[in-house]
Structure 1
Amino acid sequence: MRILVTGGAGFIGSHLVDALMETGGEVRVLDDLSAGSLNNIRRWLEDERFEFVRGDMRDFETVKRAVEGVDVVFHLAANPEVRIGSQSPELLYETNVLITYNLLNAIRNSDVRYLIFTSSSTVYGDAQVIPTPENYGPLEPISVYGGAKLAAEALISGYAHTFDFKALIFRLANIIGERSNHGVIYDFINKLRRNSEELEILGDGRQRKSYLHVSDTVEGMLHIFEAFRRESKLVDFYNLGNDDWITVREIAEIVSEEMGLNPRFIFTGGVDGGRGWKGDVKFMRLDIEKAKKTGWRPRLSSREAVRRTVRELLKK
């Protein structure tokens, strides 16, 4: 199979590309490099099984050319910043919903058989059931980012049923690891590099969430995709996260410890009862029993994933 990875030069995308190339696949990457970097995929640029296309998915013709001759699409391209929704909702629409719409219109007139999409735990909003299963509802996102992801999910489901291709949707917890360039761990490290005496923590520090290392994420995606190919379902949903969770304060303590520092923690107090920002889901842990039934399970706990990520990022 020939595989297209949108956003393949980004954080999760580049790790997925590594795994696909290492298993002998033929991979094409479409990325505008707004969030990704060629350094993430440089090792493959001269490989005859690899092709890099620099392009903006808001342009339909670019997307249409990218899917030509492709059997499988892993759609990871997106603006990853949840917080930007309150400042620039139109940007989140363009870089999450519009690009997915363009991709679906390109796929419906192509030979693509499978679409795999990375959605987000944010589609659940402030879930009243924790851990939250895939069949939880009604889905009520509390951020524009979560709303954009849910809109993309709905479009994918509608197009798959109408135009007869199979779609697999992953709702991801907080994914962390080497090459990440945003998120709480990345922010804490940079803040402490600027000022080792104190660390600003958005919210009240009691936000508690599940974290999954990118190595476990990619392994889960590929393992479950193989199981999905044997299923009769046209569209299916899987949570990918961890069995445990960790507070923002505990993450701050791990980062400080790994950097050999003892800073004073300054909590901003946050908004809406201690959230880090408007739309921040304060408590999130996904039910991953469905994924585990396929034979996958995370190798690292949330705490282990956080510590490993801190060490990986400090090496950079």
Structure 2
Amino acid sequence: MRVLVTGGAGFIGSHLVDKLMELGHEVRVLDDLSEGSLDNVRRWLEDERFEFIKGDMRNPEIVKEAVKDVEAVFHLAANPEVRIGSQSPELLYETNVLITYNLLNAMRDSSTKYIVFTSSSTVYGDAEVIPTPEDYAPLEPISVYGGAKLAAEALISGYAHTFGFRALIFRLANIIGERSNHGVIYDFINKLRRNPEELEILGDGTQRKSYLHVSDTVEGMLKIFEHFRGIEKTVDFYNLGNDDWITVREIAEIVSGEMGLKPRFVFTGGVDGGRGWKGDVKFMRLSIEKAKKTGWRPRLNSYEAVRRTVGELL
């Protein structure tokens, strides 16, 4: 296929690009390099099957150009920082909702058949059912980030049903691995490099979540996309996460151990009952039974994924 990957120079996007190129597809990347890096896709720059467009998706003309002659769009471009929502909600709107709207409008007038969107577990908010299945309701995000992802999901569904293309939406757990440049593991490593004696931990340390390695994520996305192409649904949703979960304190212990350190842990106490920040979902584990029925399952559990990621980032 000829595919477009928005945000393809970013963390998850670049790993997806690697896999698509290795499988023999023609890949176009659209990225403004605000979060991503050209180094993440440098190995493909001279390949005739690869094309890189540097551009901001807030500009509709750039997006229209990017979707020309592609069969599928993998839409990963977004501001990935959940915490920024309380300081700059307008930025999260522009870099999650507005760019998705611009993409869908461009797809209306193109020959594109599929959009694959990376949404987030944050759309569920503080779910009362854990592990949380795809049909859990009502969806009540507790962060602006989660609200923006849910708004993008709704737009995609509406456009797909109205304008005749098909949409596959992934709700991702915490994705970790090589090339990540934000998140708890990245933060802990940088804090310990600055001060090996002490580690500040946001919240009370009991926050418990599911973590999935980026290699398992990309494998799941492509496996389920192949499954989706063979069925009749216009829009479908899949959780991608792990069967287990891990606390923030346990992550701190793994990071410290892998770095050969024994720092003093200093917990900030957090907000709203020990959360790391306003809008932080304290307990998150997704049901992945639907994804498993397609033949995919994670190779690494949350603990193994965290340990491997620490090694990769170090």
TM-score normalised by length of structure 2:
1.00
**Matched residue pairs, number?**
314
Matched with 1:262 is 262
Distance (whole Å) between structure 2 residues aligned to residue 108 and residue 233 of structure 1: 19
Distance (whole Å) between structure 2 residues aligned to residue 282 and residue 231 of structure 1: 36
**Structure 1 residue 100 corresponds to structure 2 residue 129:** no
Distance (whole Å) between structure 2 residues aligned to residue 62 and residue 216 of structure 1: 31
Matched with 1:224 is 224
CA RMSD, Structure 1 to Structure 2 (Å): 0.2
Matched with 1:4 is 4
Matched with 1:58 is 58
Matched with 1:184 is 184
Please list the CA deviations of residues 148-203 of structure 1 after superposition, one character each: whole Å capped at 9, or x if unmatched.
Answer: 00000000000000001000000000000000000000000000000000000000
Matched with 1:81 is 81
Distance (whole Å) between structure 2 residues aligned to residue 304 and residue 32 of structure 1: 32
Please list the CA deviations of residues 215-268 of structure 1 after superposition, one character each: whole Å capped at 9, or x if unmatched.
Answer: 000000000000000110000000000000000000000000000000000000
Distance (whole Å) between structure 1 residues aligned to residue 45 and residue 23 of structure 2: 16
Matched with 2:139 is 139
Distance (whole Å) between structure 1 residues aligned to residue 176 and residue 92 of structure 2: 21
1:92, CA displacement in angstroms?
0.1
Matched with 2:287 is 287
Q: How does 1:166-315 map to 2 (within 5 A)?
A: 166-314=166-314
TM-score normalised by length of structure 1:
0.99
Distance (whole Å) between structure 2 residues aligned to residue 235 and residue 86 of structure 1: 31
1:132, CA displacement in angstroms?
0.1
Partner SS, residue 137 of structure 1: coil
Runs (4+) off by over 6 Å? none
Partner SS, residue 70 of structure 1: coil
Distance (whole Å) between structure 1 residues aligned to residue 172 and residue 103 of structure 2: 21
Identity over the aligned pairs, expressed in percent?
Answer: 86
Matched with 2:110 is 110
Matched with 2:161 is 161
Distance (whole Å) between structure 1 residues aligned to residue 88 and residue 46 of structure 2: 38
Unaligned residue ranges in structure 2 (runs of 5+): none
Distance (whole Å) between structure 1 residues aligned to residue 166 and residue 223 of structure 2: 16
Match of 1:147, as an amino acid?
G
Distance (whole Å) between structure 2 residues aligned to residue 63 and residue 309 of structure 1: 33
Please list the CA deviations of residues 15-50 of structure 1 after superposition, one character each: whole Å capped at 9, or x if unmatched.
Answer: 000000001010000000000000000000000000
